[in-house]
Each structure stands twice: as C-alpha cells, then as structure tokens.
Structure 1
Amino acid sequence: MRSAGLIGTLRAVAVAGVLALLPTAAAVGTAAAAESEPPSAAATTEVTISPVDLAGPAISTVKVTVTNAGPARMRSLTVSFGGPVGWAVQPSTVRVDGSLTAGASSDATFRIQVPEQRGGFTVRTFTATATYQGGDGLGSATATRTQRSGTPLARLADAYNNVAVTDESNTAPGDYDGEGNSFSAQKLADVGLRPGGTVDALGARLVWPNVPSGTRNNVTASGQAVTLNGSGSKLVFLGSGVTSGASGTATVYYTDGTSGTGTFGFPNWSFDPANAHGATLVASSDGRNRPSGYGNAGIKYRVFAHSIPLDPAKQVDFVVLPSNGNIHLFDMAVAP
C-alpha cells in the first residue's frame, strides 16, 4: 500500500529523523464517524474507522484512515484493527509503505468476519491504533467506533422480569431470591414504599414500581439496554442484592455517541452490612414472605441506593445494565 504525498529528498528525511528523537507520549486520535468518540484536544494525528456492515454472517471490509496533522513527516506507520471478542480480522496489522507529509492521509484495509446478527439490542465496539515516528511526535493514536443493532427498551419497566413483592395473603407468586421468597407488600408500605410512591435517595427522585403485588416489578440485571433521558452529575440506582456478590458495571451512552462506565453494587437484601459495596440504605422492612406465608419477623429485608458518575455536560441517551443477575433494580434516575 502506497501513501499520498511521498517526498524523498535527503534533506526532508534528515529533518524527520531529528524530529523523531523528540520525547514521545500517549495520544488519542479522533474518530470522525458520527458514532465514534470525539477528538481529544491534545491529539493531532487523526484516525477514523469506516462503518462496519453488520449484516452477517459475512466478511465485511473496513477502511482505517490515518491523517498526519502534525508538523513533521510521518514515517514507519503501522495500523492495527480489532472488533468484538471472537470476531476474526485479517490482517490484524497493516504496515504502510513510505511516509506521509503534513496533512496527507493513508488508508489501511481490513476484513472482519461478522457473525449472524442476533435479536435484541447490542452495542459493538471497533478499535484502530496507529503507531508511527515523526508526525506530531506523539508516537501513537487510537480511535474507537461503536455501532448499535436494535433499539433500547423504552423504560425500565419494560425489562421487569422478577416478582419481588407479594401480598401476605398470597405469597406464592414471589421469587425474589430464587427460593420463592419475596418482600411483604404490607411491611414495605409500613416504611413508605408503596406502588407509585416517590423515593428520594442520593439526590435523585425515584419511583417505587407502580404495579400490583404478585406481579413482575423489578429487573434482574443481565445487560439490558434501557432508554433514559436527562443530564446530571450521577445516575442513581434503587435496588438490592441477592447473595453478597451483587455488583457490576453499567455503561451510560450519551446522545453525542460517547459513553462512560461505572461500577456499583448492593448488599444482600438481608444480613450483609448495610454499607456493603458502598451502598446507602433506603428502607428496611420487617420479615419477608415465604412460599408458605409471612415469616422471619424481626429480621430486616432491605432496599438500597447506589450511584455512578455522569458527565454533567452531556445528555444521557440510554443505559446498559450490568450482566449480573444478583443485582435487582426497582428504578434508576439522573441526579443533578
């Protein structure tokens, strides 16, 4: 592959060689596509990834373009490209012949094996990295491109898949913990958690699920994507855990195509310390409903709040929940 703008004078090569000896540092390149990350203000070398055809099973061709926006000639340019785990790429690395003058661009072409498209919503990430000498003197630049398939759920209630609350007169439908146990609707009401009622926690106004007892009213997290609008400093989750391993990472996607992640967790709904995983206790109800009826009086069964940070300058588009079924969510909301 030949690059545009190749100039071969000995004087230019010598100058580029001297500039290549300047100290180097990590750089993040730009990805100009609408769904790619915005350019870093500190970077000058630009890396862009063409759209990937996701209509598999097929072999898709992807073009990675590197533009030398630095003052010096760019030499020894190597471009690597990769997609989701398990997606084969050929070749994995392309070495670009010659050199690039300031402002010149070069393309590297890759072929990626796209599997059969699955139903539901998915976000797939592709990454390209350019390494070089000269150019902006930084030595490397990276760009990522995210592409979506399907549509996020319109609201968290559309993801309800578990019965967490039952009436003491009919406990049979409950199965919050996988053993047929559930919160008592009466005891939750005693501590202020009623269907459709508001819950103020960690600066957010949340809502207790407005559904009848004995019906699905919470989400066991398994990577569901849910639409959520607003801007603020943090995203607050209302829920509790089953077992002591109820933690995971949520990903927030913004309307400008960028994203951020945050890790949170909840204590087990009973017995764990109330501040486990850094959570905040919201309410404690007395006892629980078992398949045989109400019981375990004197033991507290609890609901918690936790949060992850947001970029307050951006508008939230949707949230991808953690992939951990031990995390149970009743609501989530943006806090100022």
Structure 2
Amino acid sequence: MRHPRHWGTALRTLAAAVTAVVALSPASASAQPASGTPAYTAEAKTEVAISAVDLDGPAISTVQVTVKNAGPDRLRSLKVSFAGPVGWAVQPSSQTVDGTFAAGATARATFRIQVPERRPAFTVRTFTATATYQGGDGLGTATGTRTELSGTPAASLAAAYDNVGITDEADTAPGDYDGEGNSFSAQKLAAAGLTRGGTVNTLGARLTWPDVAPGSKDNVSSSGQAVTLSGSGGKLVFLGSGVGSGATGSATVHYTDGTTTSGTFGFPNWSFDPANAHGATLVASSDGRNRPSGYGNAGIAYRVFAHAIPLDPAKQVSFVVLPANADIHLFDMALAP
C-alpha cells in the first residue's frame, strides 16, 4: 500500500492507470458478489455489492464493486459509480462497462479511493455504489452500500460524559449545560425526585440518574458518539433534555448481526418549550436553575424528558451511534420491552 506525500500527483497517476475491470461468469460459477449490502430493483433484481475498504490511511485503497444480474433479462449499457465519505477523492468516480450481461452474470469494476489518516475516535464510514443500465423493462438503477467501522465505542454512556449539567447551589461555577454557564440545581432536582444514582422509570425502561458528584461531567452533548449497549428490546429509551428548540436527530442502533435500525427523536428545550414538543414525555420539573453567579430563576421550570425509538426485539444490540446534534443532552439510555 502506498502512502503518497502529495495526493494530487498520486491521484493523477492513478487516474491514468485505472480502467474498468469486468468479469462475466454464469450463475453456477464460483465467483460471487463481494461483501456488502445488496440493493435490488423491481425491473431485474440487480445486486450491487462493495468489497471491504482498507481504512489504514493515509493511503490509496483499491475497492471492487460487483454488479450481478439476478433477473431473467439481459442487461446492457451498464454504468457503475462509487463514492465514499464527503471529501474522499475517488478515481474514477464512474465507469461505463461495455457489453451485455445474461441472467446470472456478474460485472466487476475497480476504483481507487483516497483514505485519510485514521481518527482516534470511533467513526462510521459509509460507501455507496450505484449501477444504471438498460434491462428488459427499460432503464434500471440499483444501489449498494457498505459501512466500515473504525475505532471502539465508549464502554457506556457514562464513559462518554462530556458536559456538566448539574451543580450544587453552593458552587455553580463548573456548570455549563446550555453554553452560557447555566445548569440544573442538584438540590432542586432531588426535590423533584432525581437523586444521584437514583432509578428513573419511564416509557417502560429502568434508567439511572447520573451517579456523579454535582459539578462533575454528568451528561453527553450528543455529537455522533458511539456507545456500547447490550441486550434486546422493542425500543430504546433516552433520558435528557434539549438546549434551544431544535434538539432533534437520528440515532442508529447497531445489532450484533451487522444490521442497523435508525430512529429520530427529540427533546424540548429544558425550559420554555411545550412539554410535549417533538413527542417527548416529561419526566421531572425542577424549580429554577443555577447561574454562574448562583441559584436563580425561581418559579421557572427546568425539565428532564424521555423519548424512545423502536427496535427489532428479535435482535441483540451491540452499540448505539448518537445523533449529530449537540443541542441534545443525554443523562442515560436503556432498552425497554
């Protein structure tokens, strides 16, 4: 594997050398589509699969896209395109494959992709290939995707805590739940039933209020972190609240069999928004909040909510990728029937 110092020169060299690699075989041959997630069209049930991508960058990696005609009619005018994450250069971005392909035949096209240096944090990389062609029923399109994982998810949500949202009224300075130095009052939360390490039962889940001292990191400002979670259930319940009125996003649950489920949820602003905004459920309201100068805003409710996304109850959860929206703050998450 090459590690060129100048990507532009390397890619120009590769562009001059890369050509479509096409291999046709009958359905009974040993050649099979490369690993990846096939996509099908109603016209010809064309399968598109992407080979494993070597993420050990910085380097130029070779990727093979396999297109299989799984339908009864011949395919022709085949064009294959390939793309990786935003900013990753591909040579060529698309290839035209000459010839016609009988039922059961496969075509393979080779691409080169610029892989940057690995990030230390957990990262999900998605690659997409699309085939367009003429088939028995006219123009057809099929798309295949492949997800590659880099790094290790956090051991738990608590291990990913990166924000101080609860402080003692005698020491409010460490708090910064909303980006303006404000935070929940530990005393007022306790009066509302949320105590350190206490159980929170909501939406069928048994959750735990953060078991850390006031003034410590006690929640996750959601920005796409991956968090280990084991077990199974019909839904995943989140405990938290929002900053601003746009605290919504999509979480992706990865199962042990390699499949995923995605679901969108949201929280109201910790104050002022309607309590049922974004479909959330109110868990507790505390009186006032801690400001940098001390406790204040008495008489105004600062709240904690719950929300859930559906899961496949027949599958075992491996980890969760949180929404990429830092306005969503999470204190805990748990599986529920």
TM interval, shorter chain, is 0.7 to 0.9
Which residue is equivalent to 1:4?
Answer: 24
Which residue is equivalent to 2:110?
Answer: 109
Which residue is equivalent to 1:276?
Answer: 277
> How high is the sequence identity, in percent, across the aligned residues?
75
Amino acid aligned to 1:179: E
Distance 2:142 2:315 in 1: 24
Distance 1:246 1:317 in 2: 25
Q: Does 1:54 align with 2:55?
A: yes
Which residue is equivalent to 2:192?
Answer: 191
Task: Say which SS state the counterpart of residue 99 (structure 1) adopts.
Answer: strand
Task: Say which SS state the counterpart of residue 277 (structure 1) adopts.
Answer: helix
Superposition TM-score, scaled by structure 1 size = 0.85
Asked if structure 2 preserves the Cα contact closer than 8 Å seen for 1:126 and 1:146, the reply is yes
For residues 268-296 of structure 1, give each alpha carbon's deviation from its aligned partner in whole angstroms, at most 9, with x where no partner exists: 11111111122111000112222232222
Per the TM alignment, residue 232 of structure 1 is displaced from its structure 2 partner at its CA by 2.1
Task: Say which SS state the counterpart of residue 194 (structure 2) adopts.
Answer: coil
Which residue is equivalent to 1:302?
Answer: 303
Asked if structure 1 preserves the Cα contact closer than 8 Å seen for 2:39 and 2:143, the reply is no
Which residue is equivalent to 1:37?
Answer: 37
Which residue is equivalent to 2:159?
Answer: 158
Amino acid aligned to 1:4: L
Extract structure 1 runs of 4+ deviating beyond 6 A: 38-43, 135-138
Q: Which moved more, 1:319-328 or 1:121-130?
A: 319-328
Which residue is equivalent to 1:332?
Answer: 333
Asked if structure 1 preserves the Cα contact closer than 8 Å seen for 2:206 and 2:334, the reply is yes
Per the TM alignment, residue 231 of structure 1 is displaced from its structure 2 partner at its CA by 2.1
Per the TM alignment, residue 91 of structure 1 is displaced from its structure 2 partner at its CA by 1.3
Asked if structure 1 preserves the Cα contact closer than 8 Å seen for 2:47 and 2:69, the reply is yes
Per the TM alignment, residue 98 of structure 1 is displaced from its structure 2 partner at its CA by 1.3
Equivalences for residues 79-158 of structure 1 within 5 A: 79-134=80-135, 139-158=140-159
Q: Which moved more, 1:155-164 or 1:166-175?
A: 166-175
Unpaired stretches in structure 2, ≥5 consecutive residues = 1-20, 27-31
Unpaired stretches in structure 1, ≥5 consecutive residues = 7-29
Q: Quickly say closer, same or farther: Cα 1:245–1:122, change in 2 above 3 A.
A: same
Distance 1:92 1:115 in 2: 18
Distance 1:330 1:269 in 2: 13
Asked if structure 2 preserves the Cα contact closer than 8 Å seen for 1:218 and 1:329, the reply is yes
Per the TM alignment, residue 267 of structure 1 is displaced from its structure 2 partner at its CA by 1.2
Q: Quickly say closer, same or farther: Cα 1:5–1:273, change in 2 above 3 A.
A: closer
Which residue is equivalent to 2:29?
Answer: none
Q: Which moved more, 1:94-103 or 1:43-52?
A: 43-52
Amino acid aligned to 2:186: A
Distance 2:247 2:24 in 1: 54
CA-atom RMSD, angstroms? Answer: 2.3
Distance 1:227 1:277 in 2: 26
Task: Say which SS state the counterpart of residue 144 (structure 2) adopts.
Answer: strand
Task: Say which SS state the counterpart of residue 101 (structure 2) adopts.
Answer: coil
How many residues get paired? 311
Superposition TM-score, scaled by structure 2 size = 0.85
Which residue is equivalent to 2:5?
Answer: none
